[in-house]
Each structure stands twice: as structure tokens, then as C-alpha cells.
Amino acid sequence: MPEGEKRGINWAPLWKEEDWWAVWFGFILIILVAIGWITKVPKIGKWSTSLGQAIPASNLFPLLLLLIGIGILTAIGIKAMGLDVRKYLLAFPVVFILAVIAMLIGGHALAKAYNLEVPLWALIVGLLVSNTVGTPQWLQPAVRTEMYIKTGLVLLGCEILFHRIVALGPPGLMVAWIVTPIVLIFMYWFGVRILKIESKEFALTLSAATSVCGVSAAIATGAACRAKKEEVSMAIGLSLLFTVIMLVLFPFIVKASGMDVDVGAAWIGGTIDSTGAVVAAGAMLGDRGLQIASVVKMIQNVLIGIIAFVVAVIWVWKVDRDPNAPRPSAMEIWIRFPKFVIGFVLASIIFSFIFVPGFGEKAVGAMTGSTKALRGWFFALAFVSIGLSSNFKEMAKYLKGGKPVWQYIIGQGFNVILTFIVAWIAFSGHYLPKP
């Protein structure tokens, strides 16, 4: 028997879980950039009249290599996770082509003029497919939203140097760690006490999805309190439905109102449910908006493990009152913790404390140029996938019954107002120095 098994150590999650594979994907790409194997990542250029401006002939072969490279890299993880790699490889090129189409639309001069970013077009392209002809079953194996977005977020860590995180730290903590628990408790109380939702598990799962980060929080919290599969699915459905709306609406509100970008980005990071949607919405505010929104959401995501652990303790010791139920341990925090956050932080630390002192600012700037381009491709793949998996007709059933919808609307409304107030206090510069 292997030594690890004798000691009760389960190493399988290191190559079986999607969160870990996002870390491995990210660091494989970072290493290839650092050693000079990846020096230039193909991009879709700005164009107005001819597609040749966007994709010159010299870019076709590099684009094909990018398709093959990302396909093979991610297929290794797909195989390790026990999924059908053949079906994935057959479907992935189509998702990649849809991402290219989204980048082409986003690269048009008119889209550039109105600052309509690629993530928005990627979402629209996916939605057009899923809500017209429908996303075919054979394409589903490559619709891997979380895998793409988590890998992109690990790569985003390369762009956020440590001094920027430190500068954002206290204001970010105010938005993420003060508002989130308050919204979670309020929304659960409103659902159970005011709306009289019978299933406490469902009320809590929906509250966690709304206050923390959508799908991931719903799955982790639902597992901790043993919510029914249908309840978790309903919470995810409501979250996805309103996330699409908020993704489009909130950046527009920030721009149209002339809101300070820092305040708007922090507001977006603390309110939009999905990490991926936060990244997309933040990107519409520019690079600084992207970084602030992403870091605020990252800080908020740390609460997933803590909340799941606390919920497990309360449900085992108080709500369920089952003497035969397993008692939670400190390992629950580790089990629920989103591992890709570790990759994000490590990437930031490596670039901040190893690469910058070792290679210099100029060399690191060239590296982050490549990692940023790769991150852009993974984001495009992620938001095409979000669109492909969002069918409004199928999601309409989640609106039936009334109470869950009101719980979400009132809870999210409270979240939006409270987060804006705290974001303004923390990021406006009136009370605290701007990060």
C-alpha cells in the first residue's frame, strides 16, 4: 500500500478536481511563458471593413496552434478528471471558433467606439446559439465554464502585483467581508421568516449564491446543509438568470452615471453573483475596473469555505439534530475552499517577489503581455460557455412559485444598496485613501 494511503492522505483530488486543474493549466502556461516557449499569443486585431485587418494571413497558423495547444492542454485535465476526452476534443474547436467570432465582433471599430468588450459579445454569441437552434448535446462536453474561467483567473494573478493587492486590501475587505455575511443572514431570515419558505436548505442555498458567488457558493453551501439537488439547481438557475441581466446593466449604470470607476468596480465585484460575470463586467470598465472587481470577488470567494464549514456545523449540531450524522472537522474548510484562488495568489506572489526582482519590470511586462492575452482567450471561452448553457425557456421554470424570486429580488436589492454604500465609503477617496 502506498505510504500516502497508509497515512490516510487522499491525493486523488490533485488530479481529479477541476479547481486543481485550473491551477495546473495556469502554471503550465506561466512556466512556458517564463522559459520563453510562449513569446507571442495571437490576437484578433481592430477592423472596420475587412476581416483581413482582424486576422491577417500571417496570424492564421498561430491561431491554429493556439487552438491545438489549448485543446491538448485542457484535454489532459479532462482525461484525468475521468471525462470523455474524445467527445471533448470533438466539441472544443467549435467553442473556440465561437470565441473567435466573439473576438471579431468585439474588435470591430464600432464596438470599440462604444467600449463593448469581448466578454459581452462572447456571452451574446453563446446566448444566440442556446436560445435559437439550441446547444447541441455533442457540444456540451466542451461547455466547461468554470474550467475556463478559473484558469483565466489564475493567469490574472500574474497581472496583479503584490503592492496592488496590499493597496486594495482594507477597502476590498470592507466590501467583501463586511457586506457578504450581512446579506447572507438578512436574505436567509427574509426567506424563512417573512416569505415562510418551507425548505430552510433551499433558502440558505439561494442566499449563499446571491451573497457570495453564484454557482460555486450554491454547490458548496447546498452540500454542507444537504439541500436537495432540485433546490440547488433552482438556486443556480435564478442566479444565472439575474447574473446575465446584471452583467449587462451594471457596467452601463456605472458609465452612464459617471460613477467613479473604483467605486463602480468594487460595487460590481461585491454584487454580481458569478465570478466569471464579475470579470466580464469589470473588463467593460477597463483594466483597472477588471482588477478591482476581480480582487474584490476573489476576497469574497475566500468566504466559500468558511461559510460552508459554519453551515455544516450548524446543520449537524442544530438544524438536523441527527445524532448519527458525521461531525464536521476543520478539513471541511479546506475541502470547500476554491483551490484556484491559491493559484491566483501564488501567481501574484511569484511575479511580485521572484520575477520582478529577478528579471526586471520590462521583462515581466513582456511576460504579463503574453499571460494577459492567454487570459483573454480563456475568458472568451468561458463566456461563450455561459451563453451556451443559459437557455431562457428552460430557466423560466425557476421563476414559478413566486417566493424564491421575491427572496432573490429583495435580497439582491439589499445587497446592491449596502454594497454601493460600503464601496463608496471604501473606494471614493472621501474616507479612506484610494487604493
Question: Distance (Å, rounded) from C-alpha 415 to C-alpha 418?
Answer: 5
Q: Is the pLDDT of residue 313 over 80?
A: no
Check pLDDT > 80 for residue 219: no
Task: Tell me the whole-structure pTM to 2 decimals.
Answer: 0.69
Residue spans of the domains in the chain: they are 18-427
- By mean pLDDT, which of 221-225, 335-339, 382-386 is the weakest? 335-339
pLDDT band at residue 8 under the 50/70/90 scheme:
very low
Grid coordinates given for 151: 484558469
Reply yes or no on whether the pLDDT at 210 is more than 70.
yes
Rounded average pLDDT over 137-142: 94
Burial tier of 244 (Cβ tally within 10 Å: 0-12, 13-18, 19+): buried
Percent of the chain with pLDDT over 70: 83
Quote the pLDDT of residue 5: 39
| Higher pLDDT, residue 428 or 87 | 87
Q: What is the pLDDT of residues 32-84, one digit of tens each?
A: 999 999 988 998 888 888 788 888 888 889 999 999 999 999 999 999 998 99
Predicted confidence band of residue 428 (pLDDT cuts 50, 70, 90): confident
Q: Say how far apart CA 104 and CA 9 lie, in whole Å.
A: 48
* Residue bearing the bigger pLDDT, 227 or 326: 227
Which pLDDT band, with edges at 50, 70 and 90, does 286 fall under?
Answer: confident
pLDDT digits (tens, 9 = 90+) for 85-119: 999 999 999 999 999 999 999 888 887 766 566 87
Band (9; pLDDT cuts 50, 70, 90): very low
* Residue bearing the bigger pLDDT, 100 or 5: 100
Cell digits for 357? Answer: 526582482
Distance CA 146, CA 148 (A): 5
Model confidence pLDDT, tens digit, residues 231-268: 776 777 677 778 878 888 999 999 999 899 999 999 99
- Whether residue 263 contacts residue 424, with contact meaning beta carbons closer than 8 Å, is answered with yes
Other Cβ atoms within 10 Å of 359 Cβ, number? 15
> What local confidence, expressed as pLDDT, does residue 1 receive?
37
Q: Which one of 205-214, 322-331, 385-394, 409-418 scores highest in mean pLDDT? A: 409-418
Rounded-to-integer distance, Cα 48 and Cα 304, Å:
44
Q: What is the 3-state secondary structure (H, E, C) of the chain?
A: CCHHHHCCCCCCHHHHCHHHHHHHHHHHHHHHHHCCCCCCCCCCCCECCCHHHHCCHHHHHHHHHHHHHHHHHHHHHHHHCCCCHHHHHHHHHHHHHHHHHHHHHHHEHHHHHCCCCHHHHHHHHHHHHHCCCCCCHHHHHHCCHHHHHHHHHHHHHHHCCHHHHHHHHHHHHHHHHHHHHHHHHHHHHHHHHHCCCCCHHHHHHHHHHHHHHCHHHHHHHHHHHCCCHHHHHHHHHHHHHHHHHHHHHHHHHHHHHCCCHHHHHHHHHHHCCCHHHHHHHHHCCCHHHHHHHHHHHHHHHCHHHHHHHHHHHHHHHHHCCCCCCCCCCCHHHHHHCCCHHHHHHHHHHHHHHHHHHHHCHHHHHHHHHHHHHHHHHHHHHHHHHHHHCCCHHHHHHHHCCCHHHHHHHHHHHHHHHHHHHHHHHHHCCCCCCCC
Q: What average pLDDT score do residues 378-394 get?
A: 81
**pLDDT tier at 122, thresholds 50, 70, 90:** confident
Q: Which residue has the higher pLDDT, 344 or 126?
A: 126
Query: What are 294's three cell numbers?
Result: 476581480
The closest alpha carbon to 217, from 311, 123, 144, belongs to 311
Task: Find which of 137-141, 174-178, 247-251, 430-434 is predicted with most confidence, using mean pLDDT.
Answer: 137-141
- Tell me the average pLDDT of the chain: 82
Separation of CA 343 from chain center: 14
